[in-house]
Amino acid sequence: MKRFHVHVAVQDLAASIRFYSSVFGTEPSVVKPDYAKWMLEDPRINFAISQRGAAAGVNHLGIQVDSAEELTALRERVAAADIQARDEIGANCCYAKSDKYWVTDPQGVAWETFHSLGSIPVFGAESASEASACCVPEAPVAFAPRSRSNARCG
């Protein structure tokens, strides 16, 4: 089953945790010094916020899947549509190890599709000395639309 993912960069983590906890009617399932996440069932969403120096606002959107097979199926769909993607197998990001790929939509919004494999102790690496700026890749993949002659209407 798929879960919609939204990651928002915030300026004030504590104020944002209070705000979103009120909006969602529940406390976050994960709280770290620079990050919080709500795994909601209604609506089914993985909503994360972080305070890591990025401009405040939507950092990226995505789809979280429950299995490697679902990830493969969605990745094949993107490949069949001739959309360029950046694969990251065994990526360490947002306190989790995941297999994922990234695409960028026509507006320039980064989209992450991922299958979480487990948790890690720091935001973007196995150890604090390896932590890097994640989650969005440094050079987002450019959207490459299909040509009109190859487009399928249906």
pTM of the model: 0.75
Complete edge-to-edge strand list for the sheet that includes strand 96-104:
30-32, 35-41, 44-50, 3-9, 57-65, 110-119, 96-104, 86-93
**Spans of the chain below 70 pLDDT:** 121-154
Which pLDDT belongs to residue 151?
37
Q: Which two tokens stand for residue 42?
A: 């209604």
Which pLDDT belongs to residue 1?
86
User: Is the CB of residue 114 less than 8 Å from the CB of residue 48?
Assistant: no
| Span 73-116, pLDDT tens digits | 999 999 999 999 999 998 887 788 899 999 999 988 999 999 98
How far apart (Å, rounded) are the C-alpha atoms in residues 137 and 17? 25
User: Tell me: domain 3-150, CATH 3.65.10.10, correct?
Assistant: no
How far apart (Å, rounded) are the C-alpha atoms in residues 74 and 22? 33
